[in-house]
Amino acid sequence: MKPNFTKFPLLFISLVLCLITCKTPVNNKAEKKADNNWIEELTIEQLQKGYKEGKYTVKDVVKVYLDRITELDKNGPQLNSVIEINPDALNIAENLENEAVAGKPEGPLYGVPVILKDNIDTHDKMPTTAGATVLRNSFPKSDSFVAKKLREAGAIIIAKSNLSEWANFRATPSSSGWSGVGGQTKNPYVLDRNPCGSSSGSGVAVSANLCMVAIGTETDGSIVCPSNNNGIVGIKPTVGLLSRSGIIPISFTQDTPGPMGRTVEDVAITLGALTGIDSSDSKTLASQGKYQTDYTKYLKKDALKGKRIGLLKKAMGFSDKVDNLMNKTVAYLKANGTEIIEIEFPKGENYEEAESKVLFYEFKDGLNKYLAGLGSDSPVKNLKELIEFNNSDTIELKYFNQNIFEQAEKKGDLNSTEYKKALATMLKATREDGIDKVMNLYKLDAIMAPTGSPACKTDLILGDHSVGGSSSLAAISGYPAITVPMGFIDNLPVGVTFFGRAWSEPLLLEIAYSYEQGTKHRKTPKYIVSD
């Protein structure tokens, strides 16, 4: 029997209106996801052009990124790359717009949403935790130099990113991307794969388009490795080009912040906004006359012609598939006018063993100073108290120990003969007898190597088990390195690293940009459940 709608005119009208206007919850969700896809792979230049043309406002853009964090990081694939969202992000965006209307000059990062690794101090409503439960409620009294420079350049710090706890300097083994506060960060390409670290969340957030650019930090591999695993560009600057004040330290000799982005251009723009002399960080004094505020002038598409690049053979051989990508990269460089010279590094003293000793000493010294600087608000005053806290905590030692902490605590101060000898050994081996010697010998503009392997599976029982990696020479020497995507292996990205002499960022950016523009290997992740 057919219903007689003439007897129920109001019901009939209501049903018709619902059919016209109502959508199912599934369609609502799908539409919401589609609505913010326009932001994917947007560059800083494109973003700021859109502002000028009135296509959107800074507040609109910040809201889209915050929505994506909810959609992809907290719900959906649950990437877990963000440890804290800035509750004032939308207000900051609105104030920035008002200042622009009032005639305030727009900085190079005007309206750019940025995420900071959560070992970088911000003086706002977000704590700086290093991922550690002991610092869950630690609110620094001032911005780090990096955060200050970002704000001055017009950027909006929308969140803090998850990281390998204490920048992966607590335990061996460990799982990169895990912290007591944030849990385990996932790789956006294949979700059970590891993002690498320690700037894990920064790499994932950039790759998944949860921000425009992110700031990571590196002691040895912590910018280039997550950039490799997450298919993005990352630059580890010369130590001293960017200030470390207000950053939870590992090593006075090796630590540096650095920008991570989806393009070389975005990284170059951000790098220039962060440079400058900081009286609170003596390493920056050496950058006087060497730092620049605009690195975009070095972005030339034909920069490969005439370059001499050394191929570091000892960094290869750990994977036939990675070697195949490297061989294709070499062939491309040669086809575009680059001379490739296969090089071997001289066998000198064990600089990696010396590095380990230096890091133990400098970590204890630096961390004790940072914790003391927090004043009465800090629940622990030094490394010894931190070790005791972890022993009594229910989260911190759930998966891995704190043997690195314990080894560092046994070390003396920086006047130790062992420390001074190890420091001299590692610097001489990687600088005078290493990078400088080889580059002078072969008259090189840069050295190249595979950044690492495809991401290993995350393992909270046995820890990381990746193979390959070429970060140590640039990291230990304090010289610059940049990694760029060079292809994929089984749905997982792999990068190539170019590194060279101190303060050679302009030259490295030239090479990286020209290679990137000619190859375009970057792909947006698809959040595959398993490979």
Positions annotated as catalytic residues are 117, 198, 222
Cis link prior to 77 (omega < 30° from 0)? no
- What CA–CA distance (Å, rounded) separates 360 from 410? 9
Element (H, E) at 417: helix 417-430
Rounded to the nearest 10 degrees, the angle between the axes of helix 505-519 and helix 320-335 is 100
Contact 273, 48 (CB under 8 A): no
Contact 193, 155 (CB under 8 A): no
Sequence-ordered alpha helix ranges (H) in 344-402: 351-373, 383-392
- What CA–CA distance (Å, rounded) separates 229 from 453? 8
- What CA–CA distance (Å, rounded) separates 60 from 64? 6
Contact 463, 174 (CB under 8 A): yes
User: CA angle, corner 467, sides to 80 and 455, nearest 5?
Assistant: 30
Direct distance between the N- and C-terminal alpha carbons of the chain, in angstroms, rounded to an integer:
53
Q: Report how far apart, in Å, the C-alpha atoms of 490 and of each of 78, 197, 328, 454 are.
A: 22, 21, 17, 8
Rounded to the nearest 10 degrees, the angle between the axes of helix 264-274 and helix 44-52 is 80
Work out whether strand 256-261 and strand 308-312 pair parallel, antiparallel, or are unpaired: unpaired
| Token duo for residue 78 | 């649950």
Name the nearest CA neighbour of 197 among 182, 218, 172, 181: 218
